[in-house]
Chain A
Amino acid sequence: MDFPTPSSPHLPVPSRVARMMQLLMLALLPGILCAWWVLGWGVLINLLLAGVTAVAAEALVLRLRGRPVLPTLTDFTAPVTGLLLALALPPLAPWWIAVLGTLFAIVLAKHLYGGLGYNPFNPAMIGYVVLLISFPREMTLWVPPASLGGTTLDLVDSLRLVFTGALPPNLGIDALTAATPLDSMKTRLGLSETLSEITSSPLFGNYGGTGWEWINFWFLVGGLVLLYFKVIRWQIPVAMLGTLFLVSGLFHLGDSDQYASPLFHLFSGASMLGAFFIATDPVSAATTTRGRLYFGAGIGLLVYIIRTWGGYPDGVAFAVLLMNMAAPTIDYYTRPRSFGHKG
């Protein structure tokens, strides 16, 4: 009887990356559905455009680099990058916004640095920031939540607008777009209105922006699912949201007419999406346990600083990229002590 002895590992496990990415996409689902409900068909069109472009670009670059295409393609990291970028884009942006941003994310921010595992910056956020500073006009045309009673487009009209730029008859682009809650908060605080005046507008809901608080809530739920399945660790999201809550709370207590409430900050813009899905990118984030706490706290602090005193209404992308830059240093100074050694 022949008993062949295979070499280790003796307990083969399927690729953890692929499983992680599949779970991540599933966990994004409630947030995506909510965003579609609130912001309309544009969300799904963006997701489709970015997802398809991401897969195509990844396959193309892998071929160019002479790497095996199929094994890398089926780890689902490329579509996840595309989906995360698409969720950051304004719905009803022209089609080339999503395509160009995804190309930048996959080709430049991921593969030019050496592909999965080597990119120092979060690819999706690089794609977003490139778009934001290159096309400020297209990137700030957000649609208002459907529940505010504004005009909403059906699927056909949305597709026509995204691909040809043609608006439905007797509708201006102004009728379709509105400032986001964070944007409106920033502009009107700049006009020295008080917080209570601003939040009495229908754009603002119970604690965040109307509609936006629900999107953020469902991303929070998705994030908790990720935590439950141990796809991500708790340190980064907790440190980020905790710092954001703490700092905004301190300022809000100090002057509640000038500084928005902590709950508004937690449930506006990309807070929850950023905390659970973007900042936790295992490649570009800090990797030590203590380092993750610093990393998350840094993002939370930077998000508050950029939102409150910076030039842009939301700062999650910039905060994540800046902390990506700091991650190697954080890792260096937070290396765990090896057993038996001092300090």
Chain B
Amino acid sequence: MAESELKTIARDGLWTNNVGLVQLLGLCPLLAITSSLVNAIGLGLATTFTLVVSSVTISLIRKLVRPEVRIPVFVVVIASTVTVVQLVMNAYFHELYKILGIFIALIVTNCAIIGRAEAFASKQPVLPAFIDALTMGVGFTLVLMALGGMREIIGQGTLFANAHLMFGEAARDLGVTILADYRGFLIAILPPGAFIGLGLLIALKNIIDGRLQARPRKIEEPEAAPASQPV
């Protein structure tokens, strides 16, 4: 596997084909959980872990699985991974587990995961499947964090509040009050804030993409040109 192909896969996962901003998959946890940065990180990491483990497993067994039964097999693999995640979080991050609640179990139904399994992992060797799952997961986590951080600052005036739920007692002081004596702009925490925030993030990505396209490309042009030429 050429390195450039792996780079393309990584760029796809992190930016061009981002789960949260472009594919718009997994919106249910994305909108419901991002009321604070810590929640967002917790759910993002759990999703990334599930995505990586299930993608690698499915890529390993891709030749043993008959196409007729692939979807149930994918679901079993994903559900097993999520069960592991759920038990681990219940044991070691109990408070966070209680906050995230049903959304940990609902990672099973996150369409991003079965989407990657069906569209990518079931057709690719282990290394690309691993890279794809990892970058897709990290890309999703970054969107969750951006949205979570934004909503937490606007809604409560804090950032990283309750960090000890995620990183242990030592991180308790990590939370910073950005705006002292802030009344809290409640709508940012409420569901409408999630939709408005996600819309603004997508708009921001489109603006950046537009700027990037308008900029003359110097290095990438020769590489990309041969592929796009009609044969």
Contact = CB atoms under 8 A, between A and B. Distances in A.
A binds B: yes
A112 B183 CA distance: 26
B196 A135 contact: no
A130 B186 CA distance: 9
Interface in B179-202: 183, 185-187, 190, 192, 196, 199
Give the secondary structure class of B's interface.
helix
A324 to B, nearest CB: 15
A133 interface: yes
Contacts, number: 14
Contacts of B192: 130
A114 B160 CA distance: 36
A134 B187 contact: yes
Interface of B: 183, 185-187, 190, 192, 196, 199
Give the secondary structure class of A's interface.
helix
14 contacts: A108-B196, A112-B199, A130-B187, A130-B192, A133-B186, A133-B187, A133-B190, A134-B185, A134-B186, A134-B187, A135-B183, A135-B185, A135-B186, A136-B186
Nearest to A104: B187
Nearest to B183: A135
Interface residues of A, number: 7
Interface string A129-170: 010011110000000000000000000000000000000000
A130 B187 CA distance: 7
Among B183, B190, B199, residue most surrounded by chain A Cβ atoms (within 10 Å): B183
A42 to B, nearest CB: 19
A119 to B, nearest CB: 15
Closest 6 CB pairs of A and B: A134-B186, A134-B187, A134-B185, A130-B187, A133-B187, A133-B186
A66 to B, nearest CB: 14
A133 B187 CA distance: 7
Given A112-B199, A134-B186, 12 more contacts: A108-B196, A130-B187, A130-B192, A133-B186, A133-B187, A133-B190, A134-B185, A134-B187, A135-B183, A135-B185, A135-B186, A136-B186
Contacts of A108: 196
